[in-house]
Structure 1
Amino acid sequence: MRKKIIVLADIRKKDVCECLKQVKPWLEDRVDILGWYNAFEEIEKAKLPNTDYLILFGGDGLFLGAARATSPYPIPLLGVNFGKLGFLAEVSIDEFFDKMPEILDGQGKIESRMMLECVVERGGVILHKHLGINEVSIKESCGCRMLYTSLSINQEPIISYGGDGVIVATPTGSTAYSLSSGGPVVSPGLDSFIITPICPHLLNLRPLVVGAEHTIQIHFLPPFPDGIVLNIDGQMHFPLETTDRVSVYKACEKFFMLTTGERSFFRILKEKLAWGEGKIKI
């Protein structure tokens, strides 16, 4: 039976536009295309329940948005990388033509990964509630003053941070902003949160890894900066007030990655971060 596919392509990238000239007739000969889209906001929700796979041509940013947008449906996402590192969109265009027949024949590997949910409360009222794939980051918005935050786990006060802000990341996000801020790499099969201070003022403030069964709460301490901003996956941005309360916990939803099954997470780390080679491949 022919698979039903949705294709999402970042046509802002010249290489993506060129590759689609070959990809489009190749796919249309082998699968039923339910739609070609240029942005995840364009995807028609009514088509998602009948979709077998979602194929993305772009970078990890496109993958993040698509995973959030399709999260109510267990649709495996296959990312063809036209970005830089490509931890999520891991397949190259050359591998796509070589491996896609096997994937369409059911020989691909489907991997489920946890998502986080972030809630912002103001005066006891929920102001924002959003899913995330990689991380929630909270920062001082103008970049010129310190932000003081108090972090609790399951309502128990744990630590206060003074610095540029704090990140709460999933294992999938441990190779993104958290890693750049000194956080550890965590295997994506572990349900956990990585709490990473951003440029902390004190050297004894280190990243912390906790189980995903915990709820993390963050509020703000004086002196307050002129502005605070919350970011989810680097794609959704919300201004915060000093009295706001932020909670992060494991979402009920998961997202699903479709891969060739030939690369382990550790092999991908070695390839993308050039471990032992002295230079990151971008």
Structure 2
Amino acid sequence: MKRVNSLGIVSFKRTAETVDVLTRIHVWAQAHKIPILFHPSLKGLLPPKARIARSQRSLITNSQALVSVGGDGTFLAVAHLSSFSEKPVVGINLGSLGFLTDIGPEDVESALLKIHRGNYRIISRMVLQARLRRRRKTIRTFSAINDIFINRAGSPKLTSISAWHGKRFITDFQADGIVVATPSGSTAYSLSAGGPIVDPAVSAFLLTPICPHSLTERPLILPSDKPVRLVVNQKNPSVMISADGIDSARLRQGDEVVVSHAGAKTNLIQLGERSYFELLRKKLHWGQDYKLRRERT
């Protein structure tokens, strides 16, 4: 891949570990004479010579790649910022699980040097677009890398949602909610709701009901060539739509949510040749003796 000669650094954490990593990035960049810009929200946390971008758009425009410092939540937020430009993103993991963040804090300098020298590859991931339609008019548009979900929030009542794939009716779900996920998002909310793990190389939508009233209403894997349409059937002021847990809105009875392939994509920087199954083994501890793990801890 081509060399990366400018980086944009984003973090929304304010821990001592975060400041340490950000400072190390600044020192490394100065030593290698590589221009880097830090997100405007980091002003005051960094050494005086650190360059702070005037705005988020300025940060993205003037960077060849973006570096997320935090967990998967931070990574998703950074990927959302860059979605209009398709600038590649790499994550330094300061969170717990880190499915999307590829670099440990101990490897920051060596990883950034590999990226600078072009020793990486780009992995493209699907992005969802959800149009919220009310009275036949689109009133809001959402984008998501992991998932679009509808849930009942704090209401004790089940949510009634009708679902279509293209023009074909699927069923009326009576559930706490429903998740439409990308394969990348199959290890996020959808997985905790009982959905399958899907290789991100597959072009598909996952439709996963959250705690359905009927035990026979199981998750579905659908071709992504047709949109998924969800309609809220009953009046419930607590029902909400959320995109990656970042952007949300309240829904009304009769509202439609139409989920489709977005025109944009998310480009991830990957170091090395690690397979998706290696990632699953590492993050989900597949093949490990849990009894031995408990004894060691």
1:148–1:163 Cα contact (<8 Å) kept: yes
| CA distance, structure 2, for counterparts of residue 7 and residue 251 of structure 1 | 25
8 Å Cα contact 1:143/1:164 also seen in 2:
no
Determine the structure 2 residue equivalent to 1:243.
Answer: 254
Does residue 98 (structure 1) correspond to residue 110 (structure 2)? The answer is yes
Instruction: Tell whether 2:245 aligns with 1:234.
Output: yes
Determine if contact 1:34/1:47 at 8 Å carries over to the other structure.
Answer: no
- Residue 8 of structure 1 aligns with an amino acid whose one-letter code is V
What's the counterpart of residue 270 of structure 1? 281
Amino acid in structure 1 at the alignment position of 2:157: R
Contact 1:11-1:38 at 8 Å conserved across structures: no
* Unmatched segments (≥5 aa) in structure 1: none
CA distance, structure 2, for counterparts of residue 249 and residue 42 of structure 1: 34
Find the counterpart in structure 2 of residue 164 from structure 1: 176
SS in structure 2 opposite 1:27?
Answer: helix
Select 1:80's aligned residue among 57, 72, 92.
Answer: 92
Matched positions, count: 279
2: CA distance between counterparts of 1:231 and 1:88?
Answer: 19
Deviation at residue 74 of structure 1 after TM alignment: 2.5
Where 2:37 maps in the other structure, the secondary structure is strand
Match of 2:236 among 221, 225, 250: 225
The residue type paired with residue 3 of structure 1 is N
Higher mean C-alpha displacement, 159-168 vs 47-56: 47-56
Residue 45 of structure 1 and its aligned partner are, at CA, apart by 1.7
Asked whether the equivalents of residues 147 and 165 of structure 1 are also in contact (C-alpha less than 8 Å), the reply is yes
Say whether 1:150 aligns with 2:162: yes
Q: Give 2:204's aligned residue.
A: 192
Give the secondary-structure state (helix, strand or coil) at the position aligned to 2:172: strand
Offset from partner CA, 1:20-64 (integer Å, 9 cap, x none):
232211122225334211659974324534421111111111111
Gaps of 5+ in 2: 43-52
Structure 1 pair 128–198 and aligned structure 2 pair: CA distance change class (3 A): same
Superposition map of 1:59-74 within 5 A: 59-74=71-86
Give how far 1:9 is off: 2.1
Aligned to 1:120: 132
Partner Cα distance (2:153, 2:65) in 1: 38
Report the equivalent of 1:138. Answer: 150
Specify the code of the residue in structure 2 equivalent to 1:158. I
Identify the residue that residue 22 of structure 2 maps to in structure 1.
20
Q: Larger deviation: 198-207 or 152-161?
A: 152-161
Q: CA RMSD in A?
A: 2.1
| TM-score with structure 2 setting the length | 0.88
Q: What TM-score does the superposition give when structure 1 sets the normalisation length?
A: 0.92
Query: Is the Cα–Cα contact under 8 Å of residues 10 and 38 in structure 1 kept in the other structure?
Result: no
Describe the superposition over 1:118-162 as per-residue Cα deviations: whole angstroms up to 9, x where unpaired.
000111111111211110110112241111111001122111111
Paired letter, 1:264? S
Q: For the Cα contact (< 8 Å) 1:168–1:194, is it kept in 2? A: yes
- Distance in 1, matches of 2:4 and 2:136, equals 50
